[in-house]
Amino acid sequence: MFKRIFILFVSIGVGFMAAEKPTEAQDNKTTVIVDTGSRKCYDNRKEIRFPRRGEAFFGQDAQYEGNTPAYRNNGDGTITDLNTGLMWSKAVDDNKASLVEAEKIARNMTLGGYRDWRVPNIKELYSLIDFRGYAGFSGRNMSSVPSNAIPFINTDYFDFKYGQVNAGERYMDAQWLSKTKYVSTTMRGDKTLFGVNFADGRIEGYGYQRPGSSREKKFYVRYVRGNAYGANNFVDNSDGTITDRATGLMWMRTDSGKAMNWQEALKYAEDLVYAGYDDWRLPNAKELQYIVDYSRSPDTTGSPAMDPIFQTTAIVNEVGEKDYPCFWTSTTHLDGPDPGRSAAYVAFGRALGKMNGTIMDVHGAGAQRSDPKVGSPSYRGPQGDRLRVDNYVRCVRGGSVKVRTSAPTEEKNKYPYNVKGYESVGRTDSKRQEGPEGMRRPPSGKEGRRGHRRPPPRRR
């Protein structure tokens, strides 16, 4: 589906060699990156009709159809992902577990008659996220689940629980465990591992053990079995591009070299002619997260969390340290009182926040969070996430994507449409986000930009 452009025909030798380089994986079997599930288009605040090529906001996630999420309920407490081939446990145990406890449970599991269960790595776990979810909004109330909240996982197949509010947790405390540890530390020296919060649609590093403490943070756990998922196989094509033979995707070797807002990032990608190709796009959240190298970080390797085959612009962060940028994705992240106003990004440098007046790495290089699509830099949330608003871009091309010109027809009796409260999410009329559950956006004032006081500094 791509168009190859030879800008200088006189460079026939170089041009021909580049044209002959395959963009698909050389191996017999490629790793399938599951689509994010996004089916709607948004401007900087709300849902819009699908833009046409050349119009503002063209090129966002919903317009590029990838490998549609597909699962099979095996009827024995297991779910098979028909894209990745991974098999998952369906149920959720109310008893959260530490990594050590979860690994012991996995070794003794016989679910479905299998004995090779394991705790997933972060790329395996993130393959399940579905960006049709919505974190929900009910003002300052974190002790009950908002009526408009939708889990970021397909609840037709997977059991799901919000935080245990009766035990003093916030409803947002629905972090799922991975075995991927952060090679540095977060907060004030906390040992950290990455997890996915399927209540708010983020990857974050969670401090599981503070210095001098033997206590470990506990998580919900979903166990997995099957061939390991998450490896890359990068090849430098010697023309400014990198092909991941594991997935068949081709990437820019370098990045945009400057930060920009989300709308500008979409346009940058759609207008890009680079290495002779004109079909570059802004990657979706799962495509971009798949190239994170979780063995690297600014503090331990002096590099971004990315294979050194890539070139990444260094920046000076908010505390004057050498650091590396966050990178936009094409995926709108439904969060807050205006669920179309933020887009997901992946932090390849430190994921900074401000706590008690101190700026620090709160979620780790490799986190996926979100920023407002437009606005001014600020801080937000329990860990004071740094909102830069302007982020960098690394474009991608290839894969099995097809361009959508309109929203697909969905079955209303399936996720997410069958989740109570779905119809109130992202409404485009002037009375959006109003209702009996405190969904009207509160006025700004002393209680902060979201209209409610910041909750205690607890991990999302």
Give 115-134 pLDDT, tens digit per residue.
999 999 999 999 999 999 99
Residues with Cβ within 8 Å of 214's Cβ and at least 6 positions away in sequence, in order, are none
Residue 213: strand, helix, or coil:
coil
| Average pLDDT for 5-34 | 46
pLDDT score, position 426 = 52
Query: For residue 447, is it within any domain?
Result: no
| Average pLDDT for 324-351 | 96
Under the banding of pLDDT at 50, 70 and 90, the label for residue 424 is low
Q: Is the pLDDT reported for residue 190 higher than 60?
A: yes
Residue from 291, 306, 372 nearest 339 by CA: 372
Q: Is the pLDDT reported for residue 433 higher than 90?
A: no
CA dist 139 and 122 (Å) reads 31
Query: For residue 418, is it within any domain?
Result: yes
pLDDT score, position 448 = 34
Beta strands across the sheet bearing 396-398: 234-236, 241-244, 249-252, 396-398
Phi, psi angle pair for 333, to nearest 5°: -105, 115
- Contact at 8 Å (CB) between 109 and 97? no
| Average pLDDT for 357-377 | 97
Please name the residue that has the structure tokens 């994507």: 401
Query: For residue 452, is it within any domain?
Result: no
| Average pLDDT for 149-154 | 97
Question: Is the model more confident about 459 or about 382?
Answer: 382
> For the stretch 407-429, what's the b/e string if a residue is b when 16 or more beta carbons lie within 10 angstroms of its beta carbon?
eeeeeeeebbeebebbebbbeee
Residue 344: strand, helix, or coil:
strand
Under the banding of pLDDT at 50, 70 and 90, the label for residue 309 is very high
CA dist 285 and 96 (Å) reads 27
Please give the radius of gyration of the chain, using alpha carbons only, rounded to the nearest integer: 21
The two tokens of residue 144 are: 């009950």
CA dist 61 and 387 (Å) reads 21
pLDDT score, position 452 = 34
Under the banding of pLDDT at 50, 70 and 90, the label for residue 446 is very low
Average pLDDT, the chain: 87
| Average pLDDT for 244-266 | 98
User: Taking the model in full, what pTM does it have?
Assistant: 0.87
Query: For residue 79, is it within any domain?
Result: yes
- Structural domain containing residue 235: 9-424
CA dist 176 and 126 (Å) reads 10
The two tokens of residue 178 are: 């991975």
Q: Is the pLDDT reported for residue 422 higher than 70?
A: yes
Helices (H), 241-346: 262-271, 285-289
Query: For residue 396, is it within any domain?
Result: yes
Q: Is the pLDDT reported for residue 136 higher than 50?
A: yes
Domain count, the chain: 1
Query: For residue 3, is it within any domain?
Result: no
Residues with Cβ within 8 Å of 104's Cβ and at least 6 positions away in sequence, in order, are none
Residue from 33, 380, 367 nearest 203 by CA: 367
pLDDT score, position 431 = 35
| Average pLDDT for 355-378 | 96
* pLDDT over 70, % of the chain: 85
Which DSSP state fits 252?
Answer: E
Render 363-431 in DSSP notation, one character per residue: S-TT-EEEEESSS--EEETTTTEEE-S-BB---EEESS-EE-SSPPP--TTSTTTTSTTGGGTT--STT
| Average pLDDT for 342-349 | 98
pLDDT score, position 300 = 98
> pLDDT (tens digit, 9 = 90+) per residue, 20-57?
333 333 344 689 999 999 999 999 999 999 999 999 99
> pLDDT (tens digit, 9 = 90+) per residue, 202-233?
999 999 877 777 788 999 999 999 999 999 99
pLDDT score, position 110 = 98
The two tokens of residue 16 are: 């021909």
Query: For residue 4, is it within any domain?
Result: no
Task: Tell me the CA distances in angstroms from 298 to 181, 212, 310, 365, one per residue in order.
Answer: 15, 24, 15, 8
Which segment of 292-301, 422-431, 437-446 scores lowest on mean pLDDT? 437-446
| Average pLDDT for 347-351 | 98
Query: For residue 353, is it within any domain?
Result: yes
